[in-house]
Structure 1
Amino acid sequence: MTSNILFIVADDLNSWISPLGRHPDVKTPNIEKLARLGTTFTHTYCTAPYCNASRMSVFTGCLPSTTGVYANEPFWDAPLRRPTFLEKLRERGYFCFGAGKVFHGYFDYATAGRDRHRHAGWVDAENRPAMWDAFETVNPEPLPPNRPLNKMFDFNRFEALDPRNHHFDWGLLPDEQESLMPDMLTTQAVTRFLAAPPQQPFFCATGFYKPHLPWYVPKRFFDHYDRDALSLPFVKADDLDDVPDIAKAWALSPPDHETITSHHQWRDAVHGYLASISYCDHQIGAILRALESSPAADDTAVVLWGDNGFHLGEKLHWRKFVLWEEATRVPFIVIPPKSKAQAAKSRISEPVSLIDLFPTLFDLCGLDVPQQIDGRSLVSAMYGAQPVETPVTTTWLAGNHSLRWKNWRFTRYVDGSEELYDHAADPHEWNNLAGDNRFSNVSASLRARLPEEGAS
């Protein structure tokens, strides 16, 4: 029997969720509930540490080196583009509904900051409404007064700011603005859909923007945490001394860590990110309750994933746009329909990729998995088979690839420079072993597994 699919994606949600244990203070009870109901893939990696490239990989089941989408390259009108699983589902008779940020889009913080607006309008960059049977787009985002709240930048000289700092801010959103938050409105749209689902099988996509910057959420989410007792990431002052020049340049441009620490904002930034994760978790809880009371509750598979990771000081870096663990590791939890849930494993630790999401959902729902994709179904692993240990690839811009395989991370940059880390001994990726002859066989083996650009 064909199953429905409830698809939940959170923007910039890294591996700090409580089922992964990557941050000791985080509070995500609703994601914990999801994890108890299904299978958590504890070492899942995005194909690109950037929203658009990652999402296009998920929807096509293909690597950036296959699609040609490494960042913002054209996709929809590209010759011989790969079909998305959204299109494949509609071909198979699914009703496809979406709300929020599913494909790539962004808020116009440049106009909001320059003109001192109290909201930022939404730009629906890559979504195509005609691809859906019904879609509810993102509403404008309410913004607090007197920005930036962290006081690291001068918005009176807005035109002189690096555009990357237009939204690099965190703090309290006034409670009266909570009802206007786009993620809450997305939750309401999905709740309405689940209350009266169509008779045919459906795909329901829920796209949450938080915990993407800026980290503006109501006070009660900040109150989940004792700001002064928060654990900060482990940082080594000389951490970038043994990385290639290209990696160092990516890490330090813009000089976020220096800016944050010189303004004594590190603890406040971590507080803002954790509060935003808890806000996202709150919305996920509302979606779960809507599904539990839906007529479709018993025959709906659920998947939760994050599009890319996020650094908060690790390796002296903030944000994403690098090929290290924190920028590439993401949540990925799959909950089978209730009729298939009992025998599923609760945790799988072997590295997997977000390109595996497409074939896994199709396989789980009894649909034929298309052949011309790079991903693989994980359903047999969910039900007890030993996972095939295949290197997992993340790419940032053409020619820069990082592989995760067993305990290893191997990265080769477009200029030929390399990094190698042994996660069994060095989980923080502090010691680059690429020049160590004792590990030359490991590097050679993984180098041979790098993707070819423009593969088909």
Structure 2
Amino acid sequence: MSRPNILFIVADDLNSWIAPLGRHPDVKTPAIDLLASRGTTFLHAYCTAPYCNASRMSVFSGCLPTTTGVYHNEPFWRAPHRRITLPEKLHEAGYFCFGAGKVFHGVFDYADAGRNRTRSAQWTDTENRSALWDEFHVTAAEPLPSERPLNGMFDFDDFQNVAPMNHHFDWGAVEPTRELEMPDFKTAEAVCSFLKKQHKQPFFCATGFYKPHLPWYVPQRFLDLYPIDKITLPFVKSDDLDDVPAIAKTWALSPPDHETVLKHGQWRNAVQGYLAAISYCDSQIGRVLAALDASPAAENTIVVLWGDNGFHLGEKLHWRKFVLWEEATRVPFILLPPRNIVTSPRVEQPVSLVDIFPTLFDLCGLELPPDIDGRSLVPLARGGQMEDHAAIMTWLRGNHSVRLGRWRYTRYSDLSEELYDLSADPYEWNNLIGDTRFEEVRLGLADRLPTDRRV
């Protein structure tokens, strides 16, 4: 049999609320559920950074931010001795590289759309490079409701005084006549068309969905899946930040999203919007998976589904990502190998998205580039063990977190720390730093933190 194809699906800001991970009781993700029933779900998978550009550069290079130097939006392509990327290596190995949507980092211009009251936000690919692809379909403009913001939390008539972070902090229904304009619909359409074709060489098909990234504008039927009076809100303690370091508290409360959402009575509406955006994304994933199943490539294609970072909706009094806690860093990661390979349905051990690159190469029988940080997870997927394997997360230079077994340990750039036993404390309410019973655990985890490379 020829080398397997790869269907590579990434969803932006998709946190651990998908049904196979059980983090939220209301969510409906039938397409993801079906994929999980056929493949291996990594129950505790983590991004390398709670920010899409840094996370994606790790996935595509197989290296941590401390290796790439990309902690946020630092240059990757022009960096001296930059790492070769996954599509480049696959192209060298004879793969046809196809992409559509938000694969590498890019942005919608919500500032221009808000300032000029336009009905669409235009897309700019910031990190994608045309030379990586044999064929690529750029993200379409995003249709926007006319009366924004729908949540009424900001005054777009005084747009110059609306903080950039709030240009897209909104949720509600997109107009029915504009549903077919939505960028994820068009991305799925391009991928489905590609999958229907007969291919003479193995392919790498990268599919980048923008939802459930803000703004959570989706067709009304997805909001209707979640009646507002039945929404389950996240577990939140009002004093949750009392035992965290000052740097973490600053990150959590800047901007004061939770205070703003509560002031305007929008918490349930926001959770409804995010859940609806997850279900909308799931529907587009379902279209792509159905196209694969009906295609000539169905029997010999690896499917990998992942979210680039997590997302808070009030947990630890925080919204969005940009922190080193569970909600911002835990993500979906599902692997379906070619149909002649049997794998375990669930893996409990913490793993990292940096492991995707070597895992795919292992399944394809390809030689890895030297000196990458990730490791193949095929042994875990086949029911084995990787006893010393941990997941490392970084947010901005000098701030690192490690997940190993039941533990999360974080050390910040000012040397302040957090330690949580997630088996007993899954929502990270009790920082164990200073408890002498866990000093040996703290020291062992601290030894695993990476060293930032010199500038």
> What's the TM-score bracket when you normalise by the shorter of the two chains?
over 0.9
Is 1:160 aligned to 2:161, yes or no?
Answer: yes
* Structure 1 residue 388: Cα displacement: 2.9
Q: Report the residue type matching 1:364 in the other structure.
A: L
Structure 1 Cα separation of the partners of residues 203 and 169 of structure 2: 37
Match of 1:376 in 2: 375
Higher alpha-carbon deviation: 178-187 or 439-448: 439-448
1:452 to 1:274, Cα distance in 2 relative to 1, 3 A: same
Q: How far does the alpha carbon of each residue in 1:368-395 deviate from its partner, in whole angstroms, 9 at most, with x for none?
A: 2333100000112211212334221100
Match of 2:432 in 1: 433
- Contact kept? 1:359, 1:370, Cα under 8 Å: no
Match of 1:98 in 2: 99
Q: SS at the partner of 2:340?
A: helix
Q: Which runs of 4+ in 1 moved over 4 A?
A: none
Match of 1:306 in 2: 307
Match of 2:277 in 1: 276
Q: SS at the partner of 2:159?
A: helix
* Structure 1 residue 197: Cα displacement: 4.0
Q: How far does the alpha carbon of each residue in 1:216-263 deviate from its partner, in whole angstroms, 9 at most, with x for none?
A: 000000111121111100000000011000000000000000000010
Instruction: Write out aligned runs for 1:246-285 (5 A).
Output: 246-285=247-286
Structure 2 Cα separation of the partners of residues 113 and 83 of structure 1: 38
Q: How far does the alpha carbon of each residue in 1:300-350 deviate from its partner, in whole angstroms, 9 at most, with x for none?
A: 10000000000000000000000000000000000001121xx21000000
Instruction: Write out aligned runs for 1:187-202 (5 A).
Output: 187-202=188-203
Is 1:385 aligned to 2:394, yes or no?
Answer: no
Match of 2:350 in 1: 351
Is 1:44 aligned to 2:45, yes or no?
Answer: yes
Match of 2:69 in 1: 68
Q: Report the residue type matching 2:172 in the other structure.
A: G
Q: SS at the partner of 2:81?
A: coil
Structure 1 Cα separation of the partners of residues 387 and 303 of structure 2: 23
1:197 to 1:213, Cα distance in 2 relative to 1, 3 A: farther
- Contact kept? 1:393, 1:402, Cα under 8 Å: yes
* Structure 1 residue 106: Cα displacement: 0.8
Structure 1 Cα separation of the partners of residues 440 and 454 of structure 2: 26
Instruction: Write out aligned runs for 1:321-336 (5 A).
Output: 321-336=322-337
Q: SS at the partner of 2:241?
A: helix
- Contact kept? 1:389, 1:406, Cα under 8 Å: no
Instruction: Write out aligned runs for 1:66-145 (5 A).
Output: 66-145=67-146
Q: Report the residue type matching 1:92 in the other structure.
A: A
Q: How far does the alpha carbon of each residue in 1:380-430 deviate from its partner, in whole angstroms, 9 at most, with x for none?
A: 221121233422110000000001011111000000100000111111100
Structure 2 Cα separation of the partners of residues 314 and 362 of structure 1: 36
Match of 1:451 in 2: 450
Structure 2 Cα separation of the partners of residues 402 and 85 of structure 1: 25
Q: How far does the alpha carbon of each residue in 1:128-176 deviate from its partner, in whole angstroms, 9 at most, with x for none?
A: 0111111000010000111000000000110111100000000011111
Match of 1:421 in 2: 420
Match of 1:398 in 2: 397
- Contact kept? 1:239, 1:430, Cα under 8 Å: yes
Match of 1:35 in 2: 36
Q: SS at the partner of 1:239?
A: coil
Unpaired stretches in structure 1, ≥5 consecutive residues: none
Match of 1:316 in 2: 317
Match of 1:295 in 2: 296
Q: SS at the partner of 1:404?
A: strand
Is 1:169 aligned to 2:167, yes or no?
Answer: no
Is 1:361 aligned to 2:341, yes or no?
Answer: no
Match of 1:411 in 2: 410
Match of 2:221 in 1: 220
- TM-score, with normalisation over the residues of structure 1? 0.98
Q: How far does the alpha carbon of each residue in 1:195-226 deviate from its partner, in whole angstroms, 9 at most, with x for none?
A: 11421010000000000000000000011112
Structure 2 Cα separation of the partners of residues 384 and 138 of structure 1: 38
Q: How far does the alpha carbon of each residue in 1:277-302 deviate from its partner, in whole angstroms, 9 at most, with x for none?
A: 00000001100110011111111100
Q: Report the residue type matching 2:120 in the other structure.
A: H
Structure 1 Cα separation of the partners of residues 324 and 76 of structure 2: 23
Match of 1:57 in 2: 58
Q: Report the residue type matching 2:156 in the other structure.
A: F
- Contact kept? 1:3, 1:366, Cα under 8 Å: no
Q: SS at the partner of 1:24?
A: coil
